[in-house]
Amino acid sequence: MSRTQRLLDLLQQLRAYRYPVTAQTLAQTLNISVRTLYRDIASLQQQGANITGEAGLGYVLKPGFMLPPLMFSEDEIEALVLGSRWVAERADHHLGLAARTALQKIAAVLPSDLRLSLDTNALLVGPDENKPDFDTALPLLRTAIRQEHKVHLQYADAKGKHSKRVVWPFALGFFEHVRVLVAWCELRQEIRHFRTDRIHAFEVYPERYPQRRQALLKIWREQEGIPESSI
């Protein structure tokens, strides 16, 4: 285990305790010596971590501290790289570009050993030969969701039947070959799902819909039996 990873793990352990925890407990959890633990505590304190306490009494990390170069473990870096590569290959152009830019910003604050892990990451996303073109609709629909604006859709169902709907968009699902807009439909007076490849035309209204997006998401999750997101 690298020293950077060890310091990150120590920070995570300290955050798990509301009250002082002894050096012996921390050292045993991290599988290091107490002497190494004392050195690591001192290193974190020198870098700005508000860790109070002393040998024999225990240590506690005051809330509010986050050291940017130590934010991610190696597994977390792999997850970020894989997720960013998937978005870059599967999402619209604007979101794909944002994923690449975000990864560059993360790389800029990583220490050298973790930067190497990011640069040499071997988790790859294969090309999608059947990827449809969502570039026109998705950025505008994502903006409508963020701003909680109503949208007028011209939509065709699976049987090709056309209809016009005014909806309150609050989520967008990304599947392998399909994107699904989740919205409250004023026509049906219920939450409905709309495949974006069946939207023939749409207009984002300047009017905001009357219910908060978080409330609509909660209703939808309860209806679908989907647990609350942990992030």
Look at residue 113 and tell me if it is in a domain. yes
Whether residues 149 and 213 fall in one domain: yes
pTM: 0.68
What's the pLDDT score for residue 134? 55
Domain count for the chain: 3
Residues 175 and 97 in one domain: no
CATH of the domain at 31: 1.10.10.10
pLDDT digits (tens, 9 = 90+) for 123-156: 888 877 766 655 578 899 999 999 999 999 999 9
pLDDT at 221: 94
Q: Which of 67, 26, 73 is nearest to 48 (CA)?
A: 67
Same domain, 220 and 141: yes
Residue 230 falls within a domain, yes or no? no
Count of other CB atoms within 10 angstroms of residue 87: 20
Same domain, 98 and 166: no
* Residue 156 lies inside a defined structural domain of this protein: yes
Residues in contact with 155: Cβ distance below 8 Å, sequence separation at least 6, in sequence order: 162, 163, 164, 165, 194, 198, 199, 200
Q: What is the pLDDT of residues 177-204, one digit of tens each?
A: 889 999 999 999 999 999 998 999 999 9
Is 169 within the bounds of a domain? yes
> Is the model's pLDDT at 48 over the cut of 90?
no
Domain housing 60: 3-67
231 is a domain residue:
no
Sign of the dihedral through C-alpha 54, 59, 61, 62: negative
User: Based on the domain organization, do 98 and 56 belong to the same domain?
Assistant: no
Q: Which of 54, 85, 119 represents a domain boundary (last residue)?
A: 119
Q: H or E element: which one contains 207?
A: strand 199-208
Same domain? For 8 and 59 the reply is yes
| Residue 170 placed within a domain | yes
* Mean local confidence (pLDDT), 51-65: 82
Q: Is the pLDDT of residue 93 over 80?
A: yes
Would you say residue 33 lies in a domain? yes
d(CA 102, CA 134): 21
Contact between residue 175 and residue 203 where contact means Cβ atoms under 8 Å apart? no
Residue-wise pLDDT for 104-115, tens only, equals 888 877 777 778
Strand residues in 55-198 grouped as ranges (E)? 58-61, 149-156, 162-174, 179-185, 190-195
**Is residue 132 included in any domain, yes or no?**
no
- The domain spanning residue 184 has which CATH number? 2.30.30
What is the chain's mean pLDDT, rounded? 87
Residue 143 sits in the same domain as residue 214: yes
Residues 151 and 204 in one domain: yes
